[in-house]
Amino acid sequence: MSSASDQLIYLDCNATTPVMPQIASAVMHSMEVCFGNPSSSHITGLKARRLMEQTRDMGKQIIGAPKGRLLFTSGATEGIQTSIVSALIEAKKWAIENPVLLYGATEHKAVPNTLKHWNDVLNVGAQIIAIPVDEKGLLDLTFIEKHISRSLLVCTMIVNNETGVAQDIAKLERAIKTPQSRAFWMVDCVQGLGKQNLDLDNTKVDYAPFSGHKLYAPKGIGFLYLDENAPLTPFIAGGGQEGGARSGTENLPGIAGLNELFRLMLEESGSVFKPVAKLSEFREQLAIAIQDTFGDVVFNNDFTVSVPTTLNFSVANMFGSEVMNLFDSVGIRVSAGSACSSGAASSFVLDAMNLPNWQSENAIRLSFGPAASSDEIQLACDKIRSLKLRLQNHCMLGRDVEQQPCAQGINEYETQGLVMTLVVNQDNQAAIINPTCALVKPIEKVLKRQGLKLAYILDADASTKSQQERLSFINALDDEVYSDEHCNWPQCESLQFGNYTITRSGKDDYTYSISHGEMTDIIVSAKQQQDLPTNNVYLQSDELANLVNDNPAMMIIDTREPYEYEGEELASALGVAPKQIINIPVNRLLNAYSEGHIRKEADYLLLCRSGNRSGVALQKLLGYGFNNVRNIAGGVAELL
């Protein structure tokens, strides 16, 4: 979309990695040339089997397991199923009173969810208990020792996917494999491959699942290590492939990808994989760039106990979504917490580490692979530092006294069907209309970052709202924002607020009207519009250009935040004139209407990155009475 995106920097490698070109070539070769079925006895099949067994031997060498077994799987989730089913079926035979299943509190959700599922399906009847962690994310060994005599299975991970925290396998082994314990031990090694030295045969680990797509191989291929004495119940039965341990025709293209990956990892000189010392340098460079750009930053993972390829951080007075959108706007891909839990309000991993709520709720995970280059990391640092000017220009790091507050005018914030309105007049005084505790945090951030004085809190339901509800809202505000001496909660019908007149419209409909200049009776409500018609359109970029060019009066409204917006570059990428695109974020639509920047009779197309925010904007404009407005479903991500 922009010049920034032309040089994409992918820093979300804990979620997945791009497939290396040489690995992709090996995959294609296996599909076009070495495509045989490893179970076939002709030459083509024999070549395929040789490739598969060579890959198995190389994999054992990589993980330090010449004596152990290695099964090819579809990925880590299948390996987890096989491990847990195999362990539980065997352990169910034991005469242990009040048995327990232990797993790390910061474990990937695939593990506790699988434990619960098979504990019920197999009628094991064990109690499932999370092992606590300390503030660094390290497992509580004393807790394990307390429960180990009743444990059937202990599940831990070698490296955490959100924080990069690495567990001490030797210490865990001493706590788990005691004379009093018969427990099996599964170690999720997905995030450890290529980042830590593995020597599994010299441990007492029973099962260790791995996944190819976390280290430059394709999705849909993984492998499972089993100790030579660990019980195995085939999770997939059928034609008897993998010596009867895992039926189904083997994923030879995926195995060929692993083969090339292992070959690269075993190279003694000139390897694309960097040593730990170099990866640590990369992490330090990125950490300094983040601190230089955002200022008040806290790193949520202790670098002394983490692999160097993961940084987890939170920025004070900024939402994680804001930080992620900023990175995205300059072509840097990161994630908010874990990709597998991106819908969560906070990080369960950071919650388990007892970190403050604001850190957990706004955490950003930045992760790179062990094959990252110096040039890539330097470019990432340059791009991160380039964000500082945007932050300053858009009131994200506080505001210069000469700078007009970005929130001056009318701002709407929505959640759970509720709407709270913030009006900022020309004297930088703020009035909140229809307060709700669910929206305290975004309002508070705006007030603090922009140095606004909260003068009024107006509640359309003041006659019935309980005193306790009001106090809850006030108490949720920081002392920097609210003061009884400077803020009023009037129960009046009309208020002259600088260049705005705010009038209560009714006692029961939760609405106020705002008059501003020539615009009168701009209605703001405490409740979102419901059941409005949708008007989504699906367009390719060439169709969009044709549509806009054929309708010269049509305007495109980019509903992303101003700090994400690149007008000229977006216009160039879409093939439309820059003057046909305007940037109005969702919460400023009503202000744009009050200022006369958008008109009900005009024709508008809405877009954002994914189509989600512009979909919200569509509903708002329809609610305001705009009829000629459509949303480009799928957003920029689908157009470019």
Residues 573, 577, 578: CA angle, nearest 5 degrees:
80
Rounded Cα–Cα distance for residues 547 and 540 (Å): 10
Rounded Cα–Cα distance for residues 97 and 80 (Å): 25
For residue 184, list its beta bridge partners.
153
Neighbours of 475 (CB within 10 A): 10
With a CB cutoff of 8 Å and minimum separation 6, the contacts of 71 are 79, 82, 223, 224, 226, 242, 245, 246
Task: Please report which helix (H) or strand (E) contains residue 101, including its range.
Answer: strand 100-104
Q: What is the DSSP letter of 421?
A: E
Q: Which two tokens stand for residue 138?
A: 């390290």
Rounded Cα–Cα distance for residues 190 and 454 (Å): 50
Rounded Cα–Cα distance for residues 504 and 495 (Å): 9
Burial 586-613 (b: 16+ CB within 10 A, else e): bbbbbbbbbeeebeeeeebbbbbbebeb
Residue 219 in 3-state DSSP? coil
Rounded Cα–Cα distance for residues 632 and 615 (Å): 8
Helices (H), 14-103: 21-32, 43-62, 76-91
With a CB cutoff of 8 Å and minimum separation 6, the contacts of 331 are 2, 4, 5, 6, 7, 8, 9, 383
340 is catalytic: yes
Which candidate in 13, 155, 340, 406 is catalytic? 340
Number of H helices, E strands in the chain: 20, 25
Give the DSSP letter string of 331-349: TEE-BSS-GGGTTSSS-HH
CB 141 within 8 A of CB 172: yes
Cα→Cα distances 128→120, 325, 456, 540, 561, Å: 11, 38, 51, 50, 44
Bridge-based pairing of strands 222-226 and 207-211 is: antiparallel
The residues assigned a catalytic role are 340
